[in-house]
Structure 1
Amino acid sequence: MASRLLTVPAALLLSLTALSSLAADGTPLGWVERGLILPEQVTVKFKLDTGALTSSMHAEDVDYFEKDGDKWVRFDLDLKDVEHDKLVKSRIERKLQRELTVRGAGGKEDRPVVLMKVCVGDRLLEEEFSLRDRDEMNYPVLLGRRTLEKLGPVDSARTFTIEPNCSELANR
């Protein structure tokens, strides 16, 4: 009986933690939200994809190189900022976390995975993103389940339920 009593408060605590990322009106996040890529401060549409495990971000001209004995990647982040209606171009370098093999209808593809900081609502996250040219996709950033588990529930009937607001956190 005592073990049962301990699990209820733990479950309640976990559910309250997930609720911190609900939209301002108390509803879950939508399947598309505006998010912020840092430190570039570019606002783009993020697709919250429960069918993907790993998050993915648009990247062009990916080059591998070595730095201090570690593998790194350098890539172009060329995105249209939907908040300011301007093109943001950056050349970014990140340490390679791992290689990801993606299998799909078109065959298999190896992608580099790097850590990137993003803001969704009031949550500043540093997450793994596979890099891929997403020019032909509607959404330059896709958030997979590993990231979504930190954000809480997703309502597939809603979009744009929350605005990115991490400016104070991003400067730390």
Structure 2
Amino acid sequence: MAQNQQVKAHRSGRPGAVSRWMQQTMNARMMRKIRRGRATFMGMHVLILNTVGHRSRRPRETPVSWFPGGDDAWLIVASGGGSQDPDWYVNLMAHPEQAAIELAGGDAVPVAPHRLDGADREEAWERITAAQPRYAKYQGKSDRRFPVVRLTRR
């Protein structure tokens, strides 16, 4: 039975139970480090994205890498989630008015998310992949176009 559930999760484009457990464990560890003042991971800036569940409306926290997006703005890429957008992105877009970020060692800052499209997305994508070529590699392995979101201070 458990094996059938794992196969079903894999076919649906969603991570299986073991993969989700590993991700949750690593996310919790990374968030502790960010809150203690660690600003980078694997050469990338990281922050904690605070959202609420799109159905449950329960608080959610996710460590996410970010890139400079201009004055008081941060760019994030919804690259995880397999063949579907990651849960954090779905939550962020469902309840944008409740979004906040925590930078290394800092308090939560309310932000407004804006999904970038067209030339704005392309310009941001070029800057992101120039800074971290691994994102172009990730995109090349996916059948969906990764959303790029600009977070601005509210």
TM-score by length of 2: 0.33
Greater fraction helix? 2
Scaled by the length of structure 1, the TM-score of the pair is 0.30
Q: Which has the higher strand share?
A: 1
